[in-house]
Amino acid sequence: MATSGVGGDKYRSYLTEEELKTTQWNAGPPNYDVVNRLFEEGRTKVWPVGSLEEKVQNLVKTWEMELVHKANPDDYKTLDANKFVLGINGKKYFTLEEVGKVGGSYNVFLQTSLPPALRSYDPDQESYESSQSAFKTVFPRGFAVEILQVYSGPPVIAYKFRHWGYMEGPFQGHAPTGELVEFFGTAIFELDENSKVVKVDFFFDRGELLADLIKGERTGEASSNAPSGSGSRCPFMA
């Protein structure tokens, strides 16, 4: 599993100066300085160096970095690109290729069976670029994640997590509130004999996140992709 201080970032591996140059990135090499500050200022747990919790937290952060930012599956170090599948709330599983076709991690995590008219965020109408832009805009200091509890260690890692940020930018035509936005969930990572992630299951309520993002007043600048009436109703998990 990824360990702290390995790779040029405090919490993520495989970000050395050489790896930043040689890796194929979706939109240039990532920089986590800002979100690391948010994480350190807002986390509720400080895990001992070398503890299982710290190792799991760093694995999750490194895995997320690779999934979001790396363009070439051959550059992945935390997962087996040929076997990997990602499931959300016990529904459809996505292969790595399908994650790319859907438009990346935000669009996978925010999948819904709600009718388009009821969607405050419609992943079917968003690309990788537009989804990344939307959440970078609403969370200019980043969207941090911490591990709250680890229930089991590898090869099957089960844990509880917290994601948070401050709504300091507009979202789908709603004005920023400046408020803390957070949600909680659980996940299960399955590792193979080479300690590579081959299966991930996330369980959380998407509405817990999205409801806070549509609390601000309407600005009349909703995304051109947003269906008429979207954002006017609370987006329940579906």
pLDDT score, position 235: 29
Under 8 Å between Cβ of 79 and 197: yes
pLDDT given for residue 96 in this prediction: 92
Strand partners, 202: 88, 187
- Contact (Cβ atoms closer than 8 angstroms) between residue 74 and residue 10: no
Residue 6: per-residue pLDDT: 54
Q: How far apart are the first and last CA of the chain?
A: 33
Residues of the chain with pLDDT under 70: 1-7, 220-238
pLDDT score at 220: 63
- Position 105 scores a pLDDT of 85
List C-alpha distances in Å: 235 to 8, 15, 29, 42, 171.
39, 36, 33, 26, 14
The per-residue pLDDT for range 43-79, each reduced to its tens digit, is 999 999 999 999 999 999 999 999 999 999 999 999 9
**Whole-model pTM over 0.85:** yes
Per-residue pLDDT, 224: 39
Please give the Cα distance from 237 to 225 (Å, whole number): 21
pLDDT at 79: 97
Q: What are the pLDDT digits (tens) for 2-18?
A: 544 455 899 999 999 99
Domains annotated on the chain, with CATH: 17-48+79-213 (3.10.450.50)
- Residue 152: the pLDDT is 97
